[in-house]
Structure 1
Amino acid sequence: MENFRHFLVALFAAAAAGFVTIIFVLRWVLHYREGLAWDGGPAEFNWHPVLMLSGFIFLNGAAIIVFRLPWTWQCNKLIMKFIHAGLNLAAFICATISFVAVFDFHNAANIPNMYSLHSWLGLAALILFSLQIVLSAIIYLIPFTPLSWRAAFMPLHVFVGRSLFGSVIAVALMGITEKLIFSLKYKDSPPEAVFVNIMGVLLVAFGVAILWISTRTSWKRPSDQVLHTLNTSAGGEDNTKVGPSLSQLSDEIEAGGHADVRRRGNKLDDQTN
């Protein structure tokens, strides 16, 4: 991998910001709010921010960059597709449960549902995310899907995935602000507001780090053909430390006589990762 140290710094920043954000949201609901329960009260509502941040956002972010982890490049591409899909499915389940918690709380407290821009955009993001999962599973996990479909859908798959990830973070920030406005009186600067604002900054940092990793061309997973050729030319040596020669080899292969390989499904998928 080119700029491997830079990749490690970005990966560490993303992981640190993500894990600390999860700690912050748990601290928020357990210390400043009413805790966690499933009783129709405020404690049930608290599952919403916890599952949205730790599930929907964090797991989705992990799914976006899982192909770019160089330690996984020797794994079968189909296995990595299932891991990618599994992380996204887990994120969707967390988001769905968090929505159920909100509706239960609102109905028990006679609070109208879907009255804010936060709720509108959040539900729209969940619906689009579910459609993304279904279409992607049909196109990339079913072996009989025509390769032309995969190639045509790939740019949309990448764009929608990254756009939804960034949009959900923005919607989460709206929800955090909305909750603070409803719960606090801003005559002074309550410690809870400062604490939650720091959590929001960490959430943005996590999103920026994930999007930075996912958009660097030099950190893409090499195609299976490149990995196989490099492994063969290296005589079976350890190829986890792949340097600039890998990109050169990739260029040679793509410029050479491997047109039949480039037409294969895995090659099409490598445009994303």
Structure 2
Amino acid sequence: MEGYKRFLFFLVTSLLLGFLSVLFSLVWVFHWREGLSWDGGAAEFNWHPVLIITGFIFIQGIAIIVYRLPWTWKCSKLLMKCIHAGLHLTALVLAVVSLVAVFDFHNAKNIPNMYSLHSWIGLTVVILFALQLVLGFSVYLLPFAPDSLRAALMPIHVYSGLLIFGTVIATALLGITEKLIFALKTPSYSTSPPEAIFVNTLGVFILVFGALVIWMTTQPAWKRPQSQSVKALHPNGGSPDVTEESSTATGYSNTDKSDVEMNSEAAARKRNLKLDEAGQRSTM
């Protein structure tokens, strides 16, 4: 990998910040709030930030960068797809449970649902994430989609995944601020009590973690190499898998491109041979 040490620095830093984000969320709800329970009270609501940060942010971030890990490049692409999809599915399950906790708490306390910008964007991004997961599973994990469709949808799949992840980060920061404003009355949020400073730090960790994940994902030098990307999925034969690296603007597959390059090199050698022969005749 080009710039391996730099990649390793970004990876370790992002994982550390992600882990700290989860740890800070647990310290927040156990030290300043009422812990965790499932009784319709405030402790049930606390599942929402903990599960969102753990699943929808930390686990989803790991799922996004799993293809970038160079020590997995020798693994089967099908295995990596299953890990990628499994992590995303885990993130979705935790996000859905966190939504159930919020709605259950609101209904138990007669608090209106879906009135804030945080709730609007949050529910929307969960639905979009579920659709993204279903589409990715249907097109890239199941063997029924043609290679041309996979190649055509890959840029959309990558872009929408990063867009959803970035929106999740923004929505989480909205939710953290909203919770602090509602919960901190004496002393108020504006006076910067210890809880506010602690949770604002948590927000910074989340933001930097998301930025590092997106940075690592968008660096071309850190993509899975083509030689490791294109492998046969079926041991008894079959067409090679199509990935984001194997599709090009010309529409050639990797096999087609190899043939074209070989033909071009052969033609170039023939032209060079003719020029050498002509040069030798002119000097005689």
- TM-score, structure 1 normalization: 0.83
CA distance 1:196–1:257, change in 2 (3 Å): closer
Partner residue of 1:209?
212
Partner residue of 1:175?
175
Which fold has the larger relative contact order, with Cα–Cα distance below 8 Å and residues 6 or more apart in sequence? 1
- Measured in 1, the distance between the counterparts of 2:52 and 2:205 equals 15
- Measured in 2, the distance between the counterparts of 1:53 and 1:39 equals 21
Offset of 1:86 from its aligned partner? Answer: 0.2
- 1:187-198 counterparts in 2 under 5 A? 188-198=191-201
Equivalent position to 1:258, from 248, 251, 255: 255
- 1:111-190 counterparts in 2 under 5 A? 111-184=111-184, 185-186=188-189, 188-190=191-193
Paired AA for residue 150 in structure 2: R
Offset of 1:189 from its aligned partner? Answer: 1.8
Runs of 4+ in 1 over 4 A off after TM superposition: 225-228
Q: Number of aligned residue pairs: give it.
A: 236
Partner residue of 1:219?
222
Offset of 1:225 from its aligned partner? Answer: 5.5
Unmatched runs of 5 consecutive residues or more in structure 1: 229-254, 263-273
CA distance 1:257–1:100, change in 2 (3 Å): closer
Paired AA for residue 256 in structure 2: A
Offset of 1:258 from its aligned partner? Answer: 3.2
CA distance 1:187–1:165, change in 2 (3 Å): closer
Unmatched runs of 5 consecutive residues or more in structure 2: 232-251, 260-284
Does the CA-based 8 Å contact 2:180-2:189 persist in structure 1?
Answer: no
Map Cα deviations across residues 86-130 of structure 1 (whole Å, 9 max, x no partner): 000000000000000000000000000001000000000000000
Q: Secondary structure at the match of 2:191?
A: coil
CA distance 1:187–1:27, change in 2 (3 Å): same
- Measured in 2, the distance between the counterparts of 1:201 and 1:72 equals 30
- Measured in 1, the distance between the counterparts of 2:222 and 2:190 equals 48
Higher radius of gyration, 1 or 2: 2
Q: Report the aligned-residue RMSD.
A: 1.9
- Measured in 2, the distance between the counterparts of 1:141 and 1:260 equals 25
- TM-score, structure 2 normalization: 0.80
Moved more, 77-86 or 141-150: 141-150
Offset of 1:261 from its aligned partner? Answer: 7.3
Does the CA-based 8 Å contact 1:85-1:133 persist in structure 2?
Answer: yes
